[in-house]
Amino acid sequence: MRPSSPTAVTDRPSVRPATRGRVLALVAIVCAALNLRLVVTSLSPLLTTVGDAFGFTATVVGVFGTLPLVAFAIFGLITPAVMRRLGAEATAALSMLLTGVGQVLRAFAPDTGTLLALTGVALTGAALGNVVLPPLIKQYFPDRLAALSTVQMVAIHLGALFPPLVAIPLAEVAGWRVALGAWAGIALVAAVLWTVQWRVRGTVAAPVGAAAIQRPLARPIRTVGMAWRMALLFGMVTWNVFTLFTWLPALLSDAGHSPAAAGGMVSLMVGTSLLFGLVAPAVTLRAANTFPIVVLGLSGYGIGYLGVALAPQLAVVWVLFLGLGTSLFVVTMTMINARSATPQGAAALSGFVQGAGSGIALGGPLLFGLLGELTGGWTASYVVIAGGSLVVAVVVAYVERTPWTIEAAAQGRHPRRRRSELLHD
């Protein structure tokens, strides 16, 4: 038995949730997860078109790329408090309502400032959803964490995959405003489902009550080193995910690819990440040492960046490697549930890791574009912004390679490492 491995922790509920509650929760989780990246990837392929209409520069494109991280940083940190006030289901319903309304209204934005503000509203909802879904999975499906983590990640990837694939063709037929606002219906359906789940919660036996979510850790999570290391790893992964969401179409367009083809490459990257993501949760939950998993993904990033920089005509090949790197997002999200023993621990770790990690990642998209503008090319951006983040991620992944739980870390109980690991140190 692996010491301190989260898979060894028994947190099965004494009362199994009723089937009705679990089926409704499953559908609501899927619909909500579809929206968590859709808000970003439905806009990024259209930024050149919208920029032509509104007259903004590459720096403003970088601001749009950074805005999701601002929202995720701020609301990632405060979402656990919102959950304590409203409850997890009501928080999920609020998140989807904000996402849907923001997407509808931004399609009618008359200028850049309004578009930024309304995109911020939609991203506020997505930020709340990012944090609330892992503890909801822990709450309703404690006996199916690997399966539900896979379901959640498939839905997130599908929501990220299709908008860039159809955004340019739809904009050419119906205009960029229709292409931008057409996705709002998914979020509004999710808001209705979570509202229904919230109303029926009192008649469904849940594995852990609301009081459990409010039980504090042994000490504040901001004082736990393991939480900071997880946040830094998540931040470096997110740094690259959003840099690519924002700049990959522009990088490929500058290299001679058409806007439609460049947008399609974003979809290919997300689709490749989805394929790796199908197995990532199960592998991550079972791993006694997560370092090889993370290094594999970081290698994909390194090869992909190098290929796009040196041989962009082979973009399809390099985007496959970038998709391998992007699948690390699945790994880090799975770690949130894998490294918590209770819904309360998952909520605390989810909020801190995504909030602080997104704050750390803020510089990625903005600095990548700013450095490119200052130097007149992308070489410095590749080396400093992309390469530097990968080096940091390798170091943190090695330090935090042995799985343990946030509850144990808050109590100061460090994981014992296996004899084979000690011999190699």
Report the pLDDT value the prediction gives residue 294, as an integer from 0 to 100: 94
Report the pLDDT value the prediction gives residue 392, as an integer from 0 to 100: 94
**Residue 21 confidence class, pLDDT cut points 50, 70, 90:** low
Greatest Cα pair distance, the chain, in angstroms, is 63
Contact (CB, 8 A) for 394 and 298: yes
Domain count, the chain: 1
Q: In this structure, is the dihedral angle defined by the CA atoms of residues 124, 126, 131 and 137, taken in order, positive or negative? A: positive
**Residue 206 confidence class, pLDDT cut points 50, 70, 90:** very low
Q: Is residue 112 part of a domain?
A: yes
Query: What is the tens place of the pLDDT at every residue in 265-286?
Result: 888 898 898 888 888 888 888 8
Tokens 């009081």 -> residue = 211
Report the pLDDT value the prediction gives residue 7, as an integer from 0 to 100: 40
Q: Which DSSP state fits 418?
A: P
Query: What is the tens place of the pLDDT at every residue in 44-71?
Result: 888 888 888 888 876 787 788 778 888 8
Q: With pLDDT > 90 as the criterion, what percentage of the chain qualifies?
A: 33
Q: Is the pLDDT of residue 418 over 70?
A: no
Please report which residue ranges of 255-399 form alpha helices under DSSP H.
259-277, 280-286, 291-310, 315-326, 328-338, 343-360, 363-375, 379-380, 388-399
Q: Find, among 89, 348, 76, 38, the residue nearest to 224 by Cα.
A: 348
Contact (CB, 8 A) for 352 and 219: no
Residue 138: how many CB atoms within 10 A of its CB? 28
Report the pLDDT value the prediction gives residue 212, as an integer from 0 to 100: 41
Q: Is the pLDDT of residue 114 over 50?
A: yes
CA distances from 44 to 39, 67, 101, 320 (A): 9, 12, 19, 19
Residue type for 225, please?
Answer: G
The CATH number of the domain holding residue 78 is: 1.20.1250.20
Tell me the C-alpha distance between 345 and 335, whole Å. Answer: 12
Query: What is the tens place of the pLDDT at every residue in 316-371?
Result: 999 999 999 999 988 998 888 788 888 778 788 888 998 899 888 888 888 888 89
What pTM, to 2 d.p., does this model score? 0.74
**Residue 215 confidence class, pLDDT cut points 50, 70, 90:** low
Q: Which domain holds residue 196?
A: 6-424
* Lowest-confidence region among 33-42, 130-139, 335-344: 335-344
Q: Is the pLDDT of residue 203 over 50?
A: no
Q: Find, among 302, 18, 59, 44, the residue nearest to 165 by Cα.
A: 44
Q: Is residue 1 part of a domain?
A: no
**Residue 208 confidence class, pLDDT cut points 50, 70, 90:** very low
Helix axes 225-254, 343-360, angle to 10 degrees: 50
Q: Is residue 173 part of a domain?
A: yes
153-192 CB burial, b ≥16 within 10 A, e <16: bbbbbbbbbbbbbbbbebbeeeebbebbbbbbebbbbbbe
Q: Is the pLDDT of residue 146 over 60?
A: yes
